[in-house]
Structure 1
Amino acid sequence: MVVIRLNRGGAKARPFYNIVVADKRARRDGRFIERIGFYNPTAVEGEQGLRIAQDRLTYWKSVGAQASPTVERLIKQASQAAA
């Protein structure tokens, strides 16, 4: 099964997450199929905190990929910001 989930990066106490499409059996920070965006929870005022490639997200959902609950929340947050 293919899932859309967060892949953690960044330094200790400074998290940075990539939104990736990966096989469910792969490790959290292991192999992934495609990177479709990022989430920076510690973004300051001038920086972009969230970016998702909507066209790739739509494609992966159309072929059966399931988003994690956190990614679902971020998708809703991104769509509200775009509106």
Structure 2
Amino acid sequence: MVLKLRLARVATPGGARRHSPTYNIVLAHARTARDSKPLEVLGTYNPIPTVPEGVTEEDVRDGKARKQKEIKVDVARAKYWLGVGAQPSGTVWRVLSMIGLLEPKYLPTGPQTEKALKAVRFPTHVPKTTPVSAKEA
């Protein structure tokens, strides 16, 4: 059967809350319902931008900082399932590209491509590179 990485709405106590969606990033069979029991939960995604810790609303209004969407993913498990052939949905593809796990589907071509990649990714989730001198030692 085909496996899909997709979003499933999180049920809150007392029923779903309107206008405040929260989703689990799950692995499920392609033909199962959106909110049925998944094979594995890989992370969470809150699409409503919030102010990060340590930043005030005044900083956001002044343009010194910006609100961010909350994304938490078990990167090792997500890489494993993508490696064995699980297909991400369009929204999950976009979320995983925000944290640098997949390349964005739609980017401008040409010399501005690297600049566009930096603009799409959150600064806290950019993969860290090791210095060249550390590899030689």
Considering the TM-score relative to the shorter chain, is it more than 0.5? yes
Deviation at 1:13, TM superposition (A): 1.5
- CA–CA distance in structure 2, aligned partners of residues 26 and 73 of structure 1: 22
Instruction: Indicate the percent of aligned positions where both proteins have the same amino acid.
Output: 35
* Ranges in structure 1 where 5+ consecutive residues have no aligned partner: none
Residue of structure 1 in register with 2:22 after alignment: 16
- CA–CA distance in structure 1, aligned partners of residues 99 and 51 of structure 2: 16
- CA–CA distance in structure 2, aligned partners of residues 32 and 26 of structure 1: 9
1:19-58 matched pairs, under 5 angstroms: 19-46=25-52, 49-58=70-79
Q: Is the 8 A contact 1:22 1:33 kept in 2?
A: yes
The structure whose Rg is larger is 2
Residue of structure 2 in register with 1:2 after alignment: 3
Aligned residues: 83
User: Which letter maps to 2:37?
Assistant: R
| Structure 1 residues 2-57: Cα deviation after superposition (integer angstroms, max 9, x where no partner) | 00000012512110010000011110011201000111112421367111111001
Which structure carries more strand by proportion?
A: 1
| Moved beyond 3 Å, runs of 4+ | none
Q: Please state whether the residue corresponding to 2:37 is helix, strand or coil.
A: coil
Pick which of 37-46 and 72-81 moved more. 37-46
User: Which letter maps to 1:69?
Assistant: G
Q: CA RMSD in A?
A: 1.6
Are 1:75 and 2:96 an aligned pair? yes
User: Which letter maps to 1:27?
Assistant: A
* Ranges in structure 2 where 5+ consecutive residues have no aligned partner: 11-15, 54-68, 101-120, 127-137
Deviation at 1:63, TM superposition (A): 1.3
